[in-house]
Amino acid sequence: MTHWLLIIRYKSLSFRRWLKANSFTLFILGPIILAGFYVILEPYLITVAGRLHAAAATWRAQDLYPASFALTILLVAFPLSSTLKEVYSTHSADSYLDALSIRAITRFNVTLFFRVLKNLPAWVALLVVLHGIGGERTADSAWLRIYAPLTLAVFCNIALLQMLAVLVLVHDRLFGAGRLPAQAATLLTLTVLTKCHQLFLLPLLPFVTLAVIFKRTLGEALSLTGEPSATLRTPWSHLVLTATLYVLALLLYKRWRNDDREQAREALIRQHTGRSSLTAWLRRWLDRPVAAQVVRDWQLTRRGFSSAVYLAVGFAVLFQSIVVLAARRHDLSSEWFSTIAQVSCAFSVLSLTALAPLLIKYQLPYFWVEKATGLSPEAIWKAKFWYARLLAVPAFVMSVLVITPMSPLDPTDQALFILKLLIIAFMVASLMGVMAFEIASRPLLGLIFSGLAALAMAGLFIFYWIAWPLWLYGYVVAMHSLSRRAQTKVRFTEVET
């Protein structure tokens, strides 16, 4: 018991440090972004809920089984990577606990406890979604008193299933980048086939009881069921399931965990083959010093080197939502739609590529390392140049996915329109990257300068497309001059202490 409390205290202190480091994002920036999205999307969410209720009038309760199975499988499968790191203590400070004389059951209980805590946000999100779908039916306190504890028990069982799945997948060497999606697709296919014959339920037996509760909860929200049945009110079946999963997971944890640690590390390596392929692709097309810096900067961005990463992503999505709002609320002509879509694409790319100068500011205290390793100024600025282009890829893809389904253009004009979006994204990203070192110590001032220049060039292409050869020539001349200027800026960039 003493060891259990000490580990809980240690993890609580680690969580407090993490909370303190990310307090601005969690309590100020995050709520502002979520509130903004809710204000924008509220009428559409109400419309979706209304249409869902209208469609549910023709459904039977049995029709909810595939959706319930799919929801259960996705909740189990989505956090498998983080569950693997927690169970086997790979790539975390918990690996030091393996050197202490702590019983396996204590480690298992602590891991399970924090796995349940990490599932709580998904539980709250599910209740919020069901409340929004159900309307007056789910606003009753009786619904919350019955289904909130039931769904919470489901999420506790899901935590056990997550740990059990990780232990089995790692032991059988089924955990990998290409294997997990195939297994998930197989399970989801089986959930659809359950409508054809009940024999397809056999591979899904671990999920059946949990899916039944989800089915009943969804049916209640969509007014497909009456009062909760006695089975749902009685917790004995759920207690039996929980006890069975707990005993089975504990036995496998004691038997396999220590012997499979090396296989767990190999599984994580296999899972990150996408990152390795990105590194290989960059090294194939770029010089090794440039490619190494681009990969490093990309990894820092994925890990959220600053709250600016979340802000940039939020603004990129927000600019894309402007197109959706304009198309839904106004009957736009094809010309106006094309103009608004191109402007939103330019601003989305600008939002993401603005991370390049902000990352330079973040790296200035360690800039002496790059100078001490003998990197040439050309390699340093080219790394940020290609990093900005890499950041523009998700913005361009998002623009195509959002805009294409709503575009009133015919297929030929649609292809030309996507080409224009690609040119705009390419130019904005290139100009933002080549001017990233303009005012390295004051990135916001540098953003004003480089952002205005990039948007000016994009504006010429958008509003005066007929003269595109002239603007393309101007872009080439400007890039030649700015690349020489960037090399000089890097040479005189000072290390901050």
Q: What is the pLDDT of residues 16-63, one digit of tens each?
A: 887 887 777 778 877 887 777 677 666 666 766 676 666 666 666 666
Any idea what DSSP says for residue 224? -
Residues 106-124 have a mean pLDDT of 88
pLDDT score for 231:
45
For residue 195, report the phi and psi dihedrals to the nearest 5 degrees. -70, -25
Confidence of residue 357 (pLDDT cuts 50, 70, 90): confident
Its sign, for the CA torsion 244, 249, 255, 256, is positive
If you average pLDDT over every residue of the chain, what do you get? 77
pTM: 0.58
Q: What is the pLDDT of residues 403-441, one digit of tens each?
A: 777 777 776 777 888 888 999 999 999 999 888 887 666
**50-70 b/e (C-beta count within 10 Å ≥ 16 → b):** eeebeebeeeeeeebbbebbb
Confidence at 228, pLDDT banded by 50, 70, 90: very low
Interval 303-347: pLDDT, tens: 777 778 888 888 888 888 777 776 666 666 777 778 888 888 899
Q: Which one is predicted more confidently, 366 or 83?
A: 83
pLDDT score at 247: 92
CA 338 to CA 421: how far, in whole Å? 10
* Per-residue pLDDT at 497: 47
What pLDDT is recorded for position 147? 72
Q: What single-letter amino acid sits at 298?
A: W
Which of 215-224, 286-295, 385-394, 440-449 has the highest average model confidence (pLDDT)? 385-394
Yes or no: say if 357 and 447 are a contact pair by the CB < 8 Å rule.
Answer: yes
Provide the token pair at 341. Answer: 């879509």
What are the extents of the domains in the chain? 2-17+48-271, 275-491
Percent of the chain with pLDDT over 90: 8
283 pLDDT exceeds 90? no
Contact 78, 253 (CB under 8 A): no
How much of the chain, in percent, has pLDDT values that exceed 70?
73
Residue 387 is predicted with a pLDDT of: 92
For residue 74, the model assigns a pLDDT of: 78
Number of helical (H) and strand (E) elements in the chain, helices listed first: 23, 0
Say how far apart CA 264 and CA 214 lie, in whole Å: 32
Q: In the prediction, which pLDDT does 296 show?
A: 87
> What sign does the CA torsion over 390, 394, 397, 399 have?
negative
* pLDDT given for residue 406 in this prediction: 73
Could you give the residue ranges of the DSSP H alpha helices within 104-140? 104-134, 136-139
Q: What is the C-alpha to C-alpha distance for residues 177 and 415, in angstroms, rounded to an integer?
A: 33
Please tell me the least confidently modeled range out of 237-241, 287-291, 477-481: 237-241
Lowest mean pLDDT among 200-204, 391-395, 401-405: 200-204
Neighbours of 97 (CB within 10 A): 17
What is the pLDDT confidence band of residue 390, given thresholds at 50, 70 and 90?
very high
